Structure 1
Amino acid sequence: MTNYYLPQFQLGFLNVTALNTILARWGTKAPTSTWNTTGDPCSGWAIDDSKDLDNNGQFNPGIKCDCTYNSSQTCHIVRLKVDQNYLTGPVPAFIGNLTQLRVLSFGINALSGPIPRELGNLQNLTILAMSTNNFSGSIPEEFGNMTSLQQWYMDSSGFSGELPETLSKLTNMLIL
């Protein structure tokens, strides 16, 4: 993923590759009935405002896109949901490259290991749900860079240690 403006078909290919890699590491894959898994994932229901990712698990895993960039020529994935899939293993650090994400939810799984500091790159994130996992270690100080964060769900996640002082920069936080 990059922040460069690319023709929509190129950006779609990059998104598909990144998404398929993330999901493969977690032992799952995109549902072919709702995702375009070989072309542009920012098509169909991913850009349909009448479809909600929280619709009874129908879109889980699921994505939502915003196609208003570069005079509506460029789409970015802005919401990724992979809740309640019983995913295992670590969270890949390269999720931090999805810098246009606004909502990231991977709660209620069995993810483990330290949480990657690269997630601190997600400065457009407004909601982060990571509850009920098996993480270890402390919350990275880079999480203080997520200054757009308004809601952060992290209960029962296995974190230990003190909260980093950098979290004081999260002045938009409404729910922790």
Structure 2
Amino acid sequence: MISDQAKKEIDFWVTKYPEGRQSSAVMQALTIVQNENNGSLTGELMQEVADHLQMPSISVQEVATFYENYNHKPVGKHIIRFCHNISCMLNGSDELISYLEEKLEVKTGEVSKDGLVSVKKVECLGACVGGPMCQIGDQYHEHLTPSKLDNILDNLK
């Protein structure tokens, strides 16, 4: 299930760590495998990562379930990670999440009918001064309002 290309990418990351410490590349390995598999990880994929890195399967699962950037069920083409920690919440993130769910007709944790978008609540994205905010791909969107959110959504393809 892990392609040869993905294995090469993982092996590149393994070379960045001392010999015998290949398990240190687990986060990059999970990211590579997730990206290759439509944005989500299955138990079988996590097992293959464990086998490739010669580490216990439970250790891979612990990493994959601890960090919010790993998905364990199908996701949309774009994942909107909406911060709902205290700074964002005090600035209206919960209202914006509700607005987003209504506009896209999708609940948090689900995929839109067209498969374009998933909405995910996350604890903190480290941009408290810019709250309310969300992350789409590698890009942060701060000081959000319904109209700013509409603009962002209109540009998703």
Higher helix share: 2
- Structure 1 or 2: larger strand share? 1
Pick 1 or 2: higher relative contact order, CA cutoff 8 A, min separation 6.
2
TM normalised by structure 1 equals 0.26
